Amino acid sequence: MIVSVEKPNATQAKSAEQAQPDANKLVSNDQFTVPQNNAFGNKFRDYEVGARTDKVEQHYKASHINQTYDFVKKIREEYKKLNKAEMGIWECCELLNEVVDDSDPDLDEPQIQHLLQSAEAIRKDYPNEDWLHLTALIHDLGKILVLPKFGELPQWAVVGDTFPVGCAFDEFNVHYKYFRENPDFKNPKYNTNNGVYSEGCGLDNLLMSWGHDDYMYMVAKENGTTLPQAGLFIIRYHSFYPLHKHGAYAQFMNEEDKKNMKWLHVFNKYDLYSKSKAHVDVEKVKPYYESLIAKYFPAKLKW
């Protein structure tokens, strides 16, 4: 089925370009207190303890073995068609009531609550950055890939930390040991420091492990969002923890990446530490987020 998509006009596109945020001029009333423990009483991103540890480790084992350069190229071509559905952003948010992330050691709640918790925390501290509120709301919408209508992909091909394929796997990746079973690990074309890439080529030129990040970035970009580039950067790389937490793969970054990374660091605190068992009242905040969706997206998108 061919679906027509409402594209932003030249005025909207120019306006979005002019509104490109500058992290160096960021004004906030940041009062967000980082909690010491997650919803289970353990440290955040602790992959060694907790009730979900075994499930999370098995997730990463499958991911690290199966996410090869050839696999990613093939699946990106398939999903680039955006022929799975036609729907609005909020409709997609509601679908996440059916999704729990098996890779997350910090939360076992439906994903819509995580999105709203992140967005509301950022909204409180950065009230003037409405694009950042919306980015928080939609950053994980790609997790619908686990649902039957969108291919029912295994969770190892949807969630978890992301990493480049086509170059050596860095030891800062969680559960690095399982990469040794990946066919690319011993392939001389892909197992050098830079692999098929060159230093300073820009993150946009890397082929990242396939998952919800790259899918949602693809959906937003191809449907003509007017979110600033920093918002798209956050969506695409928010799970790239080896880079934004440990500095791995930094040799590939260009100057634009370094500017956008400042915004990703702002966002990451809320993405990681706002996870809680305390639920947001969906109906109370829904009108605000629907107004942002209308500002930055067409009414219907191809997925």
Alpha-carbon distance of 134 to 123, in angstroms, equals 9
Host domain of residue 276? 52-302
199 lies in some domain:
yes
Flag whether 35 is in a domain.
Answer: no
Largest Cα span, the chain:
55
Query: If phi over 0 gives left and psi between -120 and 50 gives alpha, with beta otherwise, what is residue 202?
Result: left
The pLDDT score that the predictor gives to residue 282 is: 92
Q: CB-based burial of residue 126 (10 Å sphere; 0-12 exposed, 13-18 middle, 19+ buried)?
A: buried
Ligand-binding annotation for 213, yes or no, is no
* 3-state SS, residue 73: helix
CA 102 to chain centre: 15
Domain count, the chain: 1
Q: Determine the pLDDT at residue 278.
A: 74
Q: Which one is predicted more confidently, 187 or 42?
A: 187
139 is in an annotated binding site: yes
Whether the per-residue pLDDT at 19 is higher than 90: the answer is: no
Is 114 annotated as contributing to ligand binding? Answer: yes
Q: Is 101 annotated as a binding residue?
A: yes
206: pLDDT strictly greater than 50: yes
What integer pLDDT is reported at residue 102 of this predicted model? 66
69, two tokens: 């350069």
Q: Nearest 10 degrees: CA dihedral of 171, 173, 175, 181?
A: -70
- Whether the pLDDT of residue 106 is over 50: the answer is no
User: Could you give phi then psi for residue 165, rounded to 5 degrees?
Assistant: -110, 155
131-142 mean pLDDT = 97
Instruction: For residue 174, give the nearest of 275, 54, 68, 46 by alpha carbon.
Output: 46
**250-273 pLDDT, tens digit each:** 999 999 999 999 999 999 989 876
Residue 195 reports pLDDT greater than 80: yes
% the chain with pLDDT above 70: 78
Q: According to the model, what pLDDT value does residue 51 have? A: 46
Confidence of residue 185 (pLDDT cuts 50, 70, 90): very high
104 appears as a binding residue in the annotation: no
Percentage of the chain beyond pLDDT 90 is 71
Q: Is 257 annotated as a binding residue?
A: no
**Which of 289, 68, 295 lies closest to 178 in space, CA to CA?**
68
In a domain, 139, yes or no: yes
Instruction: Establish whether 236 is an annotated binding residue.
Output: no
pLDDT at 233 over 80: yes
Token pair, residue 131, equals 């694009």
> Is 39 contained in some domain?
no
Cα 119 to Cα 27: distance, rounded to the nearest angstrom: 17
Closest CA to 282 of 152, 99, 113: 113
Both structure tokens of 206: 């890397």
Closest CA to 222 of 123, 298, 134, 124: 298
Pairing relationship of beta strands 86-87 and 164-165 according to DSSP bridges: unpaired
Is 281 annotated to bind ligand? no
Indicate whether 69 pLDDT > 70.
Answer: yes
Residue 206 lies in a domain: yes
Tell me 297's DSSP state: S
Is the confidence at residue 15, as pLDDT, over 50? no
pLDDT band at 79 (very low <50, low <70, confident <90, very high): very high
For residue 102, say whether it is annotated as part of any ligand binding site: yes
CA distance linking residue 23 with residue 35, whole number of Å? 24
Q: What is the average pLDDT across 78-102?
A: 91
161 is in an annotated binding site: yes
Range from 12-16, 77-81, 109-113, 211-215 carrying the lowest mean pLDDT: 12-16
Is residue 18 in some structural domain?
Answer: no
Mean pLDDT, the chain, integer: 85
Measured CA to CA, the distance from residue 146 to residue 30 in angstroms comes to: 35
Instruction: Please report which confidence band the pLDDT of residue 143 belongs to, taking 50, 70 and 90 as the band edges.
Output: very high
Query: Do the annotations mark residue 246 as ligand-binding?
Result: no
Confidence class for position 98, pLDDT limits 50, 70, 90: confident
Range of lowest pLDDT (178-192, 238-252, 268-282): 268-282
Note every long-range contact of 89-93, with CB atoms under 8 Å and residues 24 or more positions apart, other chains counting: 89/138, 89/141, 89/293, 89/297, 89/301, 90/286, 90/289, 90/290, 90/293, 92/138, 92/141, 92/144, 92/303, 93/137, 93/138, 93/141
pLDDT at 76 over 80: yes
Task: Please give the average per-residue pLDDT across 108-132, as a whole number.
Answer: 88
CB neighbours of residue 89 within 10 Å: 25
Per-residue pLDDT at 275 exceeds 60:
no
Q: Establish if 228 belongs to a structural domain.
A: yes
Query: Is 154 part of any domain?
Result: yes
Question: Residue 103, annotated ligand binder?
Answer: yes
Distance CA 224, CA 64 (A): 33
* 54 is known to lie in a ligand binding site: no
Q: Is the pLDDT of residue 44 over 60?
A: no
Q: Does the annotation flag 224 for ligand binding?
A: no
